[in-house]
Amino acid sequence: RGGGSGGGSAGGAGGSSDSSDPAEGTGNRSQEIANKQARVYDAATGDSSHWEEEGTSYEDDRLPYLVSGYGDAARDARQDAGLTVEELADELGVAEDDLHAIEDGRAATANVGGSVVRAVEERLDVALVDE
């Protein structure tokens, strides 16, 4: 009979496409989480004025598309400048964990902000963003 043959694909409709950039899916997931948190907050307080006046911050510091091998490029440039991760983090006023994530090629999964990547680019005169 063929009964039930069409039910297998319904759950996959909301997934992300394999052809899209993984960082793009992360941004959508972050937006979903922020929206859900806003709804929970609003339901608990009955007041949405916070979100209406201040907005959300998940879009403020988006990570740009990065060049292939950006981690090695960042590490090499930092070492060429004679700086440790700690020294560079102090100089830029950023978290050491963010710099380690960049150098390890984990900027997207570690939620490193675009401003951190741009600061590293500018300070070390290295191209990390794919423009």
Span 15-42, pLDDT tens digits = 444 444 444 444 567 666 666 666 666 5
DSSP, res 66: B
Residue 7 lies in a domain: no
My answer on whether 74 and 120 are in the same domain is: yes
Indicate the SS3 state at residue 7.
Answer: helix
**What is the per-residue pLDDT for 63?**
82
Question: What confidence tier does 86 reach under pLDDT thresholds 50, 70, 90?
Answer: very high
My answer on whether 111 and 90 are in the same domain is: yes
Instruction: Express as a percent the part of the chain with pLDDT over 70.
Output: 54
What six digits make up the tokens of 122? Answer: 């500018």
My answer on whether 89 and 52 are in the same domain is: no
Range of the domain at 84: 70-124
Q: Within the chain, where are the H helices? A: 22-45, 49-54, 70-80, 85-92, 96-103, 114-124
pLDDT at residue 85 is higher than 90: yes
- pTM for the full predicted model: 0.55
- pLDDT, averaged across the chain: 75
Residue 6 lies in a domain: no
Q: How many domains does the chain have?
A: 2
